[in-house]
């Protein structure tokens, strides 16, 4: 019995078996770089950015305060906080309400602060080191500092106008002004503020 001749296409289909009809699985599409960060990445960025801003603000704050940090005057290398001499306190420290009367009662012009801490802080910002030995007082050291002051000047010309009891005029009202502050080391190793005036 004569068999029909098999075509080449049929032979290929017969030998390949059932797997030939199966389609190859599709590969997952590659992520496009242009699509940008994922939603998860975007959600995580906010806390990091906030932390960065906090750290940056802390660095800036330290930079702003670095120039005003305490140096403190010293006695033979030992940092010492100054004190205001009683006569300096009496003459130059007073509440605003009492300043005009005190200036009028005194001789000449008068410079005031409302709190002696203003003078102490100004001296603390200076790093002068007194070399004198214990028991040996120093000469006065004058420094210049910008501090908020109240300045009263005698209204009438000198010499009669500068006398005690003569009227005064307020010329500076709580404005930072360059002043001269005189400091000494006492014989008992204290730093004392002895002098104060507008420069």
CA–CA distance, 98 with 128 (Å, rounded to integer): 34
Q: Is residue 55 within 8 Å of residue 64, measured between CB atoms?
A: no
Q: Express as a percent the part of the chain with pLDDT over 90.
A: 64
Give the count of domains, the chain: 1
Residue 150: domain span: 74-198
- Ranking 15-24, 102-111, 117-126 by mean pLDDT, the lowest is 15-24
3-state secondary structure of 137: coil
In this structure, is the dihedral angle defined by the CA atoms of residues 125, 131, 134 and 138, taken in order, positive or negative? Answer: negative
**Exposed/middle/buried for 126, CB within 10 Å: 0-12, 13-18, 19+?**
middle
Give the H/E segment covering residue 89. Answer: helix 86-92
Domain assignment of residue 58, yes or no? no
Q: Mean pLDDT, the chain, as a whole number?
A: 81
**What local confidence, expressed as pLDDT, does residue 13 receive?**
47
**What local confidence, expressed as pLDDT, does residue 83 receive?**
97
Q: Is residue 181 within 8 Å of residue 142, measured between CB atoms?
A: yes
Q: DSSP character for 189?
A: S
**What local confidence, expressed as pLDDT, does residue 45 receive?**
47
71: pLDDT confidence band, cut at 50, 70 and 90?
A: confident
Domain assignment of residue 96, yes or no? yes
> Mean of the pLDDT values across residues 74-85?
96
Domain assignment of residue 36, yes or no? no
Q: How many residues does the chain have?
A: 199
Taking CA atoms, 21 is separated from 12, 14, 62, in Å, by 12, 11, 74
78: pLDDT confidence band, cut at 50, 70 and 90?
A: very high
Best mean pLDDT range from 1-5, 28-32, 119-123: 119-123
CA–CA distance, 109 with 3 (Å, rounded to integer): 137
Domain assignment of residue 14, yes or no? no
Q: Pull the structure tokens for residue 47.
A: 């806390």
Domain assignment of residue 157, yes or no? yes
* pTM of the model as a whole: 0.65
CB-facing half-sphere around the CA of 20: CA atoms within 13 A? 9
In this structure, is the dihedral angle defined by the CA atoms of residues 16, 18, 20 and 24, taken in order, positive or negative? Answer: negative
**What local confidence, expressed as pLDDT, does residue 1 receive?**
46
DSSP secondary structure string, 16-77? Answer: H-GGGGSPPPPPPPPPPGGG-S-HHHHHHHHHHHHHHHHHHHHHHHHHHHHTTS----EETT
């Amino acid at each position: 019995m004569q068999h029909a001749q098999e075509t080449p296409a049929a032979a290929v289909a017969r030998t390949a078996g059932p797997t030939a009809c199966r389609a190859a699985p599709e590969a997952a599409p590659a992520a496009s770089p242009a699509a940008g960060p994922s939603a998860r990445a975007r959600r995580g960025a906010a806390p990091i950015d906030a932390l960065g801003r906090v750290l940056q603000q802390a660095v800036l704050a330290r930079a702003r305060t670095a120039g005003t940090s305490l140096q403190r005057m010293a006695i033979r290398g030992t940092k010492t906080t100054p004190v205001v001499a009683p006569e300096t306190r009496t003459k130059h420290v007073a509440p605003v309400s009492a300043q005009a009367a005190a200036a009028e009662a005194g001789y000449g012009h008068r410079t005031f602060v409302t709190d002696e801490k203003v003078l102490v802080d100004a001296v603390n910002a200076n790093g002068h080191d007194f070399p004198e030995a214990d028991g040996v007082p120093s000469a006065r050291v004058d420094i210049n500092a910008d501090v908020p002051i109240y300045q009263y000047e005698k209204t009438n010309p000198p010499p009669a106008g500068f006398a005690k009891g003569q009227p005064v005029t307020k010329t500076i009202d709580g404005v930072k002004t360059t002043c001269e502050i005189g400091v000494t080391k006492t014989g008992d190793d204290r730093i004392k503020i002895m002098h104060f005036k507008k420069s």
